[in-house]
Amino acid sequence: MNFALLLIYLFIYIIRPSEWVPGMVGVPLLMYVGVLSVVAIVLGVISGKTPNVLSGDVERMMLGFIVAICLSHLSHGYVGGAINSMEKFLPSMVGFFLVITSVNDRKKFNVMILVLIALVSFVAYEGIQQYKTGYAIGGLESIFENATSTDGERIKLGRIRWYGLFNDPNDLGLLLIIVIPFLINILMQRKYVVPLISLSLVIPALYHTNSRGSMLAGAISICSYFLIRYRSKKGFMLGLVLIVPLLLLGPSRMGDMSGKEESAYGRIESWHQGYQMFKSNPMFGVGMGSYTDYHELTAHNSFVLVMAELGFVGLFFFTGLFYFPLYWLFTYINRLKYEKSDSVDNGLICSSYASLFGILTAMFFLSRSYMLIPYLLIAIILSIISICFSKFEIDSTNIIIFKSHYKNIAFLSVVQIICINLFVKIIL
């Protein structure tokens, strides 16, 4: 039941039929399926059929992050803000818990990844059609922005997009990036049909988003895959060989990428304003969704956004959500006794973490702290840990049990705050 709901949920979240399919426009399909999913998860936990969703450190970090979102408004006496913020974060929360409660074996994992690839490939195809004809299915048009070409001329630049949450080309880029390492991994297994078809759609679509951050994140994800897979100079060089053409042939807006460029300066100024918001409310922040009430531009950095809107409490749990999966990678990847470097488990680990590194890179340039994509990847990694550890007869619930990790997370949160402040002071 939960797994079927997950696949339906991913379809509605990515394809967005409520925003372009005649007869469905305006119907809150995602909300209906989300409520049904919450009921199914709760009933599963009560009956014992579903694992305790709060049994692990990452799950508890998610719960803490949800509480931090509520406290960011309740600390100011704004109950309505807490309710509205929970409604906005609900899709990410539901998607996260659907994955960790339903994807518990290799067969389900493979099905989920193939469905994810199919959905993203459809969006990529529509993006290419939008670039060629000016319209995607449903009549969605590209957006046009002023930009500087590589020869210094000012031009009108078309950027493809998708519906809803992916209406911004940068967000569409995030969606495309998530599947690239998984496609490379399938290709490495000498299964050519799916990855070659999908990559021939995803890579051009990523290019046509003309998103500098997304292109850089895609390059990082590809390089990370080979670096983690081979853990040697060979892996690094192979990844480098593949990403150099991607960067050299990158979008026209790459020519604008400099500290003196107006948008870059605006982002740094916004980080400064975010730090000022944090100083005014260091514990619980100014409230989720309130950043632009204090500054005209958003943070353009997911961690700065959380720091400003949710304060130190929110930043602690947000950092913890990424800390524990990354800790597992760096601690255990060299301890797993793979017979061959091309083992199936090794490929799963490499592709999931490469995708996460790419998304983290994009999140450094974008304010995407509350959308599903990063939490979906974290949940995917938790499923992979469970699948891989079952093979080696290791209790996955005992991966991370040391309380010192919470001190490390607090320390990293403080370091982020200090570094942001120092960086802004040096640049501005």
pLDDT tens, N- to C-terminus, the chain (428 residues): 789 999 999 999 999 999 999 989 999 999 999 999 999 988 888 887 776 666 678 989 999 999 999 999 999 999 999 999 999 999 999 999 999 989 988 899 999 999 999 999 999 999 999 999 988 999 999 888 766 555 666 667 789 999 999 999 999 999 999 999 999 999 988 899 999 999 999 999 999 998 888 888 888 898 888 888 877 665 556 656 655 555 555 554 444 544 444 566 777 888 999 999 999 999 999 999 999 999 888 888 999 999 999 999 999 999 999 999 888 877 766 565 444 444 777 888 889 889 999 999 989 888 889 999 999 999 999 888 888 765 444 444 444 445 678 899 999 999 999 999 898 888 76
Q: What is the DSSP letter of 52?
A: -
Measured in degrees and rounded to the nearest 5, phi and psi for residue 141 equal -105, 160
Measured in degrees and rounded to the nearest 5, phi and psi for residue 403 equal -65, -20
The residue type at 121 = S
Alpha helices in 281-403 (DSSP H): 291-294, 302-332, 344-365, 372-391
SS3 of 145, please?
strand
**What is the pLDDT, as a whole number, of residue 71?**
96
Contact (Cβ atoms closer than 8 angstroms) between residue 255 and residue 150:
yes
Nearest-CA neighbor of 333 among 408, 235, 415, 238? 235
Handedness of CA 65, 69, 74, 80 (dihedral sign): negative
Q: What is d(CA 205, CA 159) in angstroms, rounded to the nearest whole number?
A: 10
Contact (Cβ atoms closer than 8 angstroms) between residue 25 and residue 16:
no
Contact (Cβ atoms closer than 8 angstroms) between residue 169 and residue 143:
yes
pTM confidence score: 0.88
**What is the pLDDT, as a whole number, of residue 395?**
43
Give strand ranges (E) for 31-153: 143-148
